C-alpha cells in the first residue's frame, strides 16, 4: 500500500517536492520542473485533451535538451480552431496546406514548368500572363518585358509584329543625319562564347551605344547588353533616302 506523506494541513498533501490541492499539482520549489519519466519504453499517455494555458509554449527539445522548438497560439483567437494533420509524412518538397476548415494535407505548391506543344507539335508558347490552369495562379513579368533565351540560341517565328500605331506615340520627330550615324557603325563577324553560334554577323552593343544609345538595352548595372535590331531599320531607311537624294543631285549636275 502506498504511503501518504502529509504536511498536516487537511486537504493539502505533499509528495516529494510536489504539492497537491484538489485537481492541481504544483512544485513546492519555485521555478522547479515537474518531470514525468516512465521507466524503460513506457510513455506518458493522456486520455483527454491537454490544454496549454495563457499563451504558454508547447516545447519540443533536441536530443540533449539543450535547445527546443516551441509552438504557441496567437495572442487572440476569435474562436476555437482544430488542425487535423495528414496521416502520412508527405513527399520531399511538399508543404502543408489547409482546406479552410482545419484539415491539413501535403501539397506540391511549386509552379511546374514544361513545354506546351501546339497543335502542329512544333509550336511552343511562353507563359507571360496570369493563368489558373496547371496549378499556376499568377505569373508576373517585370515591367511587362519578357526575355526569352532559347537553348540553341535561335528564336524562330512565322511573323513578329511590334505595336507601332501613331495612337501609341507622342513627341514624334524625324531622324536626322541617319547616314552619318550608320557610317560610324561597323558590322562584324564573331563566335558566341557559349558555342551556340559561330561566324555570326552583327554589331557590338558597346560600339552602338556610342552612336545610337537609344537602340541599346542595358543590364541592371547600366552596361550595354543587347541591340534592338528591328528599330535599327528606321535609321537604314533614312540613310537610304539620304543616298537617294545625293544620287539625284549628282544626276542633275551632269
**Cell numbers found for residue 6:** 502529509
Q: What is the mean pLDDT of residues 214-220?
A: 92
pTM: 0.49
Q: Please give the average per-residue pLDDT across 212-232, as a whole number.
A: 93
State pLDDT tens for residues 174-208: 999 999 999 999 999 999 888 878 999 999 999 99
- What tens digit of pLDDT does each residue of 111-154 get? 655 545 444 444 455 554 444 445 554 555 444 455 666 656 67
Least confident range from 5-9, 45-49, 56-60: namely 5-9
**Domain limits, the chain:** 1-37, 81-146, 174-253
Nearest-angstrom CA–CA distance, 189 and 199: 5
Residue 58 has pLDDT above 60, yes or no: yes
Instruction: Please state the rounded mean pLDDT for residues 166-172.
Output: 95
Average confidence (pLDDT) over 221-243:
95
pLDDT per residue as tens digits for the range 65-77: 999 999 999 999 9
Report the share of the chain in percent with pLDDT over 70.
76
pLDDT above 80: residue 51: yes
Amino acid at each position: 500500500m502506498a504511503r501518504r506523506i502529509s504536511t498536516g494541513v487537511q486537504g493539502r498533501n505533499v509528495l516529494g517536492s510536489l504539492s497537491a490541492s484538489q485537481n492541481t499539482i504544483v512544485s513546492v520549489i519555485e521555478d522547479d520542473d515537474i518531470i514525468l519519466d516512465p521507466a524503460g519504453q513506457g510513455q506518458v499517455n493522456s486520455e483527454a485533451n491537454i490544454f496549454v494555458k495563457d499563451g504558454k509554449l508547447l516545447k519540443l527539445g533536441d536530443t540533449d535538451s539543450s535547445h527546443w522548438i516551441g509552438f504557441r497560439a496567437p495572442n487572440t483567437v476569435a474562436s476555437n480552431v482544430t488542425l487535423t494533420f495528414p496521416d502520412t509524412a508527405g513527399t520531399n518538397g511538399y508543404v502543408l496546406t489547409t482546406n479552410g476548415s482545419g484539415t491539413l494535407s501535403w501539397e506540391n505548391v511549386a509552379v511546374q514548368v514544361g513545354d506546351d506543344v501546339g497543335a502542329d507539335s512544333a509550336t511552343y508558347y511562353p507563359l507571360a500572363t496570369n493563368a489558373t490552369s496547371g496549378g499556376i495562379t499568377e505569373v508576373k513579368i517585370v515591367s511587362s518585358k519578357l526575355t526569352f533565351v532559347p537553348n540553341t540560341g535561335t528564336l524562330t517565328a512565322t511573323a513578329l509584329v511590334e505595336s507601332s500605331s501613331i495612337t501609341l506615340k507622342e513627341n514624334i520627330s524625324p531622324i536626322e543625319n541617319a547616314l552619318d550615324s550608320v557610317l560610324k557603325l561597323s558590322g562584324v563577324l564573331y563566335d558566341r562564347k557559349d558555342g551556340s553560334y559561330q561566324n555570326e554577323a552583327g554589331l557590338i552593343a558597346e560600339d552602338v551605344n556610342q552612336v545610337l544609345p537609344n537602340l541599346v538595352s542595358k543590364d541592371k548595372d547600366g552596361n550595354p547588353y543587347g541591340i534592338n535590331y528591328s528599330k535599327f531599320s528606321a535609321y537604314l531607311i533614312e540613310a537610304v533616302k539620304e543616298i537617294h537624294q545625293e544620287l539625284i543631285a549628282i544626276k542633275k549636275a551632269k
